[in-house]
Chain A
Amino acid sequence: SQQGEEDPQALSIQEGENATMNCSYKTSINNLQWYRQNSGRGLVHLILIRSNEREKHSGRLRVTLDTSKKSSSLLITASRAADTASYFCATDAFDDMRFGAGTRLTVKP
């Protein structure tokens, strides 16, 4: 079964607004990662947060992790039309990696 579940399934915002996506997972993890996929392409890694970390920043991205609730959130600040894509969380537990169904983000100019 899939490990991660993203929420919401789809999100539509205006350029300049912030976008928040959430991910819940089921079992213990080593790391949680977020990936982005532009239409019909392979996935690109955005950010990794280790299980002993609570928050991480990278440019306009902020990721939080709450292992007690088995959940994570991805915040994209000051969104741009170019951020339009699908975003996936992935959990890895040593040698496997499982993804959720993703959040489809649309940023309107």
Chain B
Amino acid sequence: DVKVTQSSRYLVKRTGEKVFLECVQDMDHENMFWYRQDPGLGLRLIYFSYDVKMKEKGDIPEGYSVSREKKERFSLILESASTNQTSMYLCASSSFGTLNTEAFFGQGTRLTVV
């Protein structure tokens, strides 16, 4: 069974804190993604990575950074948390290439910034 595990289900942080969201996958997938999901806006791509130490900006990278030091782990970092970063964060992984690109998702982290 493919498993994508996010470190926390719920998280409450204070404005200005540095926040780390961790994601680990066990399928040896090359691609990993971070999305945020807000009501009425669907999933918006923050960053993705197709290889260790590689990262690409998605559609809303401002205020975020990422780290991929190992293939199985992709971390999302909020450098200085703000209230407008209160959201559901979803991590996903998939195989590299064009044929079987099915993505597997973690259970999500609901982050509240107060």
Contacts and interface: CB of A to CB of B under 8 A. Distances in A.
A96 B96 CA distance: 10
A106 interface: no
B45 A96 contact: yes
Interface residues of A, number: 28
B42 A100 contact: yes
B58 A96 contact: yes
Interface centre among B42, B58, B98, B106 (most CB of A within 10 A): B42
B45 A43 contact: no
A42 B102 contact: no
A40 B37 CA distance: 10
B104 interface: yes
B41 to A, nearest CB: 6
B74 interface: no
B108 A40 contact: yes
Contacts of B99: 50
